[in-house]
Amino acid sequence: MEGTGSVGVVETNYFTFARPPHEMVLESGERLGPITLAYETYGRLDQNRSNAILVLHALSGDAHAAGVHRGDKGAGWWDAMIGPGRALDTDRYFVICSNVLGGCRGSTGPSSKNPDTGEPYGLDFPIISIKDMVEAQRHLIDHLGIETLLSVIGGSSGGMQALQWMASYPERIRSAIPIATTLRHSPQQIALSEVGRQAIMSDPDWKSGSYHLHAPPARGLAIARMVGHITYMSDTSMKGKFGRRLRGARKPAKFSPEFEVEGYLEYRGSNFVKRFDANSYLYITKAMDHFDAAGPGDGAKVFLGIKAKVLVLAFKSDWLYPPYQSQEIVEACMSAGVDVTYCEIQSDYGHDAFLLEIEEESDLVRNFLDKVFNANEAVTERPRRRRAHRLRGGEGTPA
């Protein structure tokens, strides 16, 4: 896109909190600490600390949302959305992304060292929830000295986190952008998660989660990722990308991958094993399955009184998080009197569209944030002008 660019070379930072005896109390009632969150920031925080946007990643994401690490050619997972002139314009906004609690990319999770044993937690790591992830993020936002976020934005399980911010800390956000997500998992979504978990736990190398001294359950985790990738795409996108094309002219060994789509899934699975921890996959997918923004009642009750503006985005071909689930979010917001906008994007990419349909998604997000930012500037400017007027009246000199 003309006039836009990358944030360039970035570094990952680390914030540690909840040191004993001040451990964080989890939703389960268990206590956890110390906790470290890996995070990255892009752009600059303005004088009023009012231009911060928190980006919330999906299941297998991490804190590296934009730019490149020194010596690494791979850009962040949402690089096309974050940077000067892009939807999350770093000339205007201060953008933050942290790896979730329970993750394995720098934040405390089951692969982290248990301070009581000196060994990785494994299954001794406590059960966590989406609410716990947001609570940990709240500690990070406090650490950065930010009282109110201009927006929280994320897709898939990142969208769940955005909804949880609305429920847990409505007074601390000006807006929220949940993308391709849901108020709660359907039975089908839970079933798909369970297939992935069973693939991991059925691998002999899983060893009841205590595989850190041995080989990881690579085959089980790869299969879980293969199942996941099928759900991220659509029938149309798979036809366009692979068709029924064979991998080569040579006749393969019996039952080895011979179609291009089979080879693609093998490749995706094996690559995932190199960067993700199997136990983190179990913990995060279980947190997603248990997430229920509405709780025992309906979403309208949870969102009552929320002043934040909300933009809900869905994608026509997304069968993992189909548009009707986004519409349920919109209905809950409308019933609660929340200022909500809904946009359904025509796309053949399936669930992956929130990472791929950058142009249309960017236009919608940019226009929405412009309105939120300008309204926020109008609110923060008035008190500043009044203060300047009083100072000119002889009460002192502005700092």
Q: C-alpha dihedral over 187, 192, 198, 199, to 10 degrees?
A: 170
208 belongs to the catalytic site: no
Q: Taking the CA of residue 40 as centre, how many other CA atoms within 13 Å lie in the half-sphere pointing to its CB?
A: 28
Placement of tokens 């836009």 in the chain: 4
347's tokens: 């796309």
Output phi, psi for 248, to 5 deg.
-170, 175
156 belongs to the catalytic site: yes
DSSP label at 338? -
Cα distance between residue 228 and residue 265, in whole Å: 10
- Angle, to 10 degrees, between the axis of helix 187-201 and the axis of helix 278-290? 160
203 belongs to the catalytic site: no
Question: Which amino acid is residue 7, in one-letter code?
Answer: V
Query: 38 exposed, middle or buried (CB, 10 Å; 0-12, 13-18, 19+)?
Result: buried
Which of the following is catalytic: 107, 156, 193, 317?
156
Helix, strand, or coil here: 391? Answer: helix
Q: Which helix (H) or strand (E) holds 10?
A: strand 9-10
205's tokens: 């190398």
Which of the following is catalytic: 318, 326, 347, 348?
318
Cα distance between residue 74 and residue 66, in whole Å: 10
The partner residues of 16 in beta bridges, in order of sequence, read 36
Cβ pair 135, 316 in contact under 8 A: no
Query: 256 exposed, middle or buried (CB, 10 Å; 0-12, 13-18, 19+)?
Result: exposed
The Cα angle at residue 242 between residues 239 and 248, in degrees rounded to 5:
150
Cα distance between residue 5 and residue 242, in whole Å: 32
Quick one: which of 217, 226, 215, 206 has its CA closest to 269? 226
114 Cβ partners below 8 Å, 6+ apart?
120, 121, 124, 125
Which of the following is catalytic: 57, 64, 185, 351?
351
Residues acting as catalytic residues: 156, 318, 351
